[in-house]
Amino acid sequence: MKLKQLLLGLSMVVTMGALAQPAYWFIDTPDPGDITMMPNTENFTEGVQSCEMILHTTNVPYFKSDNFDVDAGASYTFYLDVLDNDTRGRLKVYADFYDADGNDIYGEAPVYSEDNAEWQSITWSAVVPDGAVAGYVWIKFYDQDDFTDEAIIFVDNASFVEDGGENLVINGGYEEWTLFGIENAYFVGETAVDVRYNGVVETVDPADFTLSGTSVITFANAQIDAGDATLVHLTGASEAMVFDLTVDELTQTGLEGVATASLYAGTAPIAYTNAIYPDGSLQNGISATFTGIISAHDAYNDVWIHDAAGEYNGVMIFSYSFQEEVALGDEIIFTAQRDEYYNLSELVSPILLQTISTGNSPYDTSEIMGADINITLAANTESAEKWEGQLVVINNAVVTEYNEEEFYYLCTDDEGATQFKVGDNVDYQLANVVLTVGDVYRITGVVDYSYDFYRINPRNADDVENTTGIHNLQEKSFSVYPNPVRDVLNISVNDAMQSLSIINMNGSLIKEIALNGSHNTTISVAGLEAGVYLLRVKTSNETLTQRLVIR
């Protein structure tokens, strides 16, 4: 049965399920209203109750235990009791691991629940992977073909045992539960705030709410969402809310559980997500509301958004489900929390509030130099960090190397003085982006920071334009012959030549010759190793590049 408790206060008129989430467990879901949890005293296998899980949507919520310490190489056995007598839903359960740096180390393949009127015990044994220092139990709840409005499954007696020792899962029997309270709050309009709870709200009084920070604000109205009783809409603020870097605090009187939530009121410019933005940065883990246009989309778990052209105005959104709600070119309003993942600034826990329009072109790309994101730069270096998350373009990028194991290209646009990476964070494993070593490209993409390097990440094949030989006789009267060449190379250019250089595919300068404004010249390439090179000619007006083959 559902356990309910009346929360009393002089002005409090909220009633709901007071025990809303098992202690020492964490719910990760696209929308907190996707799943409801409560203790069940009628169906259990140990103790006095189990965890009743109710799925409300076709989104896929994750339910995981707090981390516990593990020993790499130790044998373990994982247990979970499941009562799955509902064809509309199914559980996938497994144990997973982290290394000392917080990276996932995946364990054995998951095990699935089966429809059965009786309790089933899911069990499997394996070895803690090398490098693992922490583990956790992860339960994934998802809909089946006959899902309509909800599915119900019970779990109990979660256990992770190393080498026959004690259970490492805290509250594996779901005997301890958190008190009902505010889970999150976020700005949704000039005079409106939404409040999310960890349980169902039955009645609500606007007089119980106060927002304090830049100023003290009260609300004229409070309404429970018609389709999601864990969500309350506060409207009619006593004054309009405008963004600043002051963290505002929403307080509700009379709650036994969490009665406050921190947020940034007003619409935040995306620039404030950047780690080195001159005017300051948002604090991590506090909800803020943004608007912008989706500029890139990897179809997995990353989306990029910007709210203007230029530096500081882009950011990546990380979520396992948000990419299903938005598309390239969507102009949206959303709330999220700033986070940093190994020095990459990102937004997490996004909630889509409104799609304003679709099919928009992204804001204009800004041209940067390869040196701005070169592979020697440390995290938060100003020349690169200000472009993190933004759509940019690099011209005259010469491809010097392809790493087929890690799926990136090395390029240079300054005759090998610096190199930069072309990565696969948007186009996974560069499935649609193929570059030729030695060719010259105009590369468009979003900038990110990954594993100690900044990168430019093309979105698709259209983002890489091969410009090798584009300055030829037909367009610029740039003539190179013979090509391939063995000994003597003839070069003819309409403009006055100032210098020419030959660069190998590692980006190293092999030969450089100063010229005095001539339009025609010959050079000897005898003695150079056979292979592919780049010939770069600087004129009084521009730099011309041509691929050169020496036999």
What average pLDDT score do residues 492-501 get?
88
Tens of pLDDT along 133-147? 999 998 999 889 889
- Say what the pLDDT of residue 3 is: 24
- Say what the pLDDT of residue 14 is: 33
Tens of pLDDT along 371-388? 999 999 999 999 999 999
Considering the domain architecture, whether residues 516 and 426 belong to the same structural domain is answered as: no
- Say what the pLDDT of residue 243 is: 98
Is 112 among the domain residues? yes
Considering the domain architecture, whether residues 38 and 149 belong to the same structural domain is answered as: yes
Considering the domain architecture, whether residues 173 and 84 belong to the same structural domain is answered as: yes
| 505 vs 261, more confident | 261
Considering the domain architecture, whether residues 390 and 481 belong to the same structural domain is answered as: no
Most confident of 52-56, 234-238, 538-542: 234-238
- Say what the pLDDT of residue 527 is: 87
Considering the domain architecture, whether residues 152 and 118 belong to the same structural domain is answered as: yes
Q: Which domain holds residue 387?
A: 366-466
Considering the domain architecture, whether residues 445 and 505 belong to the same structural domain is answered as: no
Report whether 456 contacts 421 (CB < 8 A). yes
Residues 6+ away with beta carbon under 8 Å from 85: 115, 116, 117
Q: What span, in angstroms and rounded, lies between the C-alpha atoms of 541 and 515?
A: 14
- Say what the pLDDT of residue 551 is: 86
Looking at every residue in the chain, the average pLDDT score rounds to 90
- Say what the pLDDT of residue 20 is: 66
Tens of pLDDT along 5-56? 222 222 223 333 445 689 899 887 766 678 888 899 999 999 999 999 999 8
Of 249, 267, 285, the one marking the end of a domain is 267
How far from chain centre, in Å, is Cα 52?
A: 31
- Say what the pLDDT of residue 307 is: 97
Q: What span, in angstroms and rounded, lies between the C-alpha atoms of 544 and 484?
A: 18
Is 315 among the domain residues? no
| 470 vs 439, more confident | 439
Q: What span, in angstroms and rounded, lies between the C-alpha atoms of 53 and 37?
A: 5
Considering the domain architecture, whether residues 78 and 119 belong to the same structural domain is answered as: yes
What average pLDDT score do residues 283-288 get?
98
Considering the domain architecture, whether residues 206 and 152 belong to the same structural domain is answered as: no
Of 162, 177, 192, the one marking the end of a domain is 177
- Say what the pLDDT of residue 407 is: 96
Q: Residue 221 maps to which CATH number?
A: 2.60.40.1220
Considering the domain architecture, whether residues 383 and 512 belong to the same structural domain is answered as: no
- Say what the pLDDT of residue 4 is: 24
Considering the domain architecture, whether residues 399 and 460 belong to the same structural domain is answered as: yes
Q: Residue 501 maps to which CATH number?
A: 2.60.40.3080
Paired tokens of 481: 């012959």
Report whether 126 contacts 76 (CB < 8 A). yes
Of 466, 482, 507, the one marking the end of a domain is 466
Considering the domain architecture, whether residues 399 and 482 belong to the same structural domain is answered as: no
Query: What single DSSP character describes residue 384?
Result: H
Residue 537, classified by CB atoms within 10 Å of its CB into exposed (0-12), middle (13-18) or buried (19+), is: buried
- Say what the pLDDT of residue 19 is: 54
Considering the domain architecture, whether residues 137 and 164 belong to the same structural domain is answered as: yes
- Say what the pLDDT of residue 280 is: 98
- Say what the pLDDT of residue 6 is: 25
Most confident of 31-35, 105-109, 276-280, 535-539: 276-280
Report whether 430 contacts 420 (CB < 8 A). no
Asked if residue 252 has pLDDT above 50, the reply is yes
Total number of domains constituting the chain: 4
Nearest CA to 209 among 253, 268, 242? 253
